[in-house]
């Protein structure tokens, strides 16, 4: 004897089967990524945004994150040097990362750089990027994602992106790498492998191993007048 199933039950069973198989969707949504970002900025002596002269700019990313205030960004590097009275011949932009366990936000950084360029007398052929430790990793990433922005890169004690994957992306960018040989926080080999990959790509890279030094080399590096002189010899074509 055949069991008679009403037509509407067949339809329900079919729809249930389709829903269990899932669906593939192709949609677009606008994401509001607006956020606030604190920063320190140094304007060189005689700076005048309304004058015809444009100024080189150094973007410096500090190490670590999660300090109690913007003063955390002054712990070392160019902000500390400026606080002590050092004068630079360029604008110095020092964003602040308040997150204790998060990397720098690339989208926020480039948006900040764009805003400063739009509102200040910046020579866009001479924008330099530097970073220490977590800031060095942020600088590597930012240079890889936005290589057309920067005229030179200086990194110290940084984790590096996968060397064999990204070295080719920045082979035209002049780069100076510093790392302590006895770094027990971020292994020395991180920088060695990236430098070797850059050299294979015939990139413009300099490497300064700091023999016997550990992780905290920011003043050893950023007190060096020659790195700023070196930066200023480079500009984008």
The rounded distance, in Å, linking the Cα atoms of 203 and 8 is 70
Q: What are phi and psi of 191, to 5 degrees?
A: -70, -40
- As a whole number, the mean pLDDT across the chain is 89
Res. 217: pLDDT tops 90: yes
Matching residue, tokens 């890279």:
205
pLDDT digits (tens, 9 = 90+) for 183-203: 999 999 999 999 999 999 999
The rounded distance, in Å, linking the Cα atoms of 58 and 94 is 8
Check residue 148 and give its pLDDT. Answer: 93
The rounded distance, in Å, linking the Cα atoms of 61 and 137 is 9
Res. 100: pLDDT tops 80: yes
Q: What is the largest CA-CA distance in the chain?
A: 100
Tokens representing 136? 């060095």
The rounded distance, in Å, linking the Cα atoms of 181 and 188 is 5
pLDDT digits (tens, 9 = 90+) for 128-187: 999 999 999 999 999 999 999 999 999 999 999 876 778 889 999 999 999 999 999 999
- Close Cβ partners of 63 (under 8 Å, ≥ 6 residues apart): 76, 131, 132, 133, 134, 135, 136, 157, 218
Pick from 19-23, 80-84, 215-219: least confident:
19-23
pLDDT digits (tens, 9 = 90+) for 2-57: 555 566 555 565 555 555 567 888 888 877 767 789 999 999 999 988 888 999 99
**Host H or E run for residue 205:** strand 205-210
Positions of E strands within 142-184: 152-156, 175-180
More confident residue, 15 or 233: 233
For range 48-76, the mean pLDDT: 88
**Host H or E run for residue 209:** strand 205-210
Check residue 15 and give its pLDDT. Answer: 54
Check residue 67 and give its pLDDT. Answer: 73
The rounded distance, in Å, linking the Cα atoms of 81 and 33 is 33
Q: Which domains does the chain have, with CATH numbers?
A: 35-232 (3.40.50.1820)
Query: Residue 202 has what DSSP assignment?
Result: T
């Amino acid at each position: 004897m055949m069991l008679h199933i009403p037509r509407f039950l067949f339809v329900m069973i079919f729809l249930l089967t389709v829903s269990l198989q899932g669906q593939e969707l192709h949609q677009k949504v606008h994401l509001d990524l607006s956020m606030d970002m604190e920063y320190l900025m140094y304007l060189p002596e005689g700076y005048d945004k309304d004058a015809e002269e444009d100024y080189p700019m150094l973007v410096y990313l500090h190490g670590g994150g999660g300090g109690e205030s913007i003063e955390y960004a002054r712990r070392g590097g160019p902000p500390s040097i400026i606080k002590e009275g050092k004068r630079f011949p360029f604008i110095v932009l020092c964003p602040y990362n308040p997150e204790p366990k998060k990397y720098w936000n690339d989208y926020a950084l480039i948006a900040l750089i764009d805003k400063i360029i739009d509102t200040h007398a910046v020579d866009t052929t001479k924008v330099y990027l530097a970073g220490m430790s977590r800031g060095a990793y942020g600088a590597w990433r930012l240079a890889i994602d936005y290589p057309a922005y920067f005229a030179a890169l200086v990194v110290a004690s940084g984790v590096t992106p996968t060397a064999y994957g990204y070295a080719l992306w920045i082979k035209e960018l002049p780069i100076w790498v510093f790392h302590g040989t006895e770094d027990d926080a971020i292994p020395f080999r991180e920088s060695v492998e990236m430098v070797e990959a850059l050299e294979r790509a015939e990139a413009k890279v300099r490497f300064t191993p700091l023999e016997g030094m550990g992780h905290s080399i920011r003043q050893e590096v950023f007190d060096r007048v020659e790195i700023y002189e070196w930066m200023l010899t480079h500009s984008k074509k």
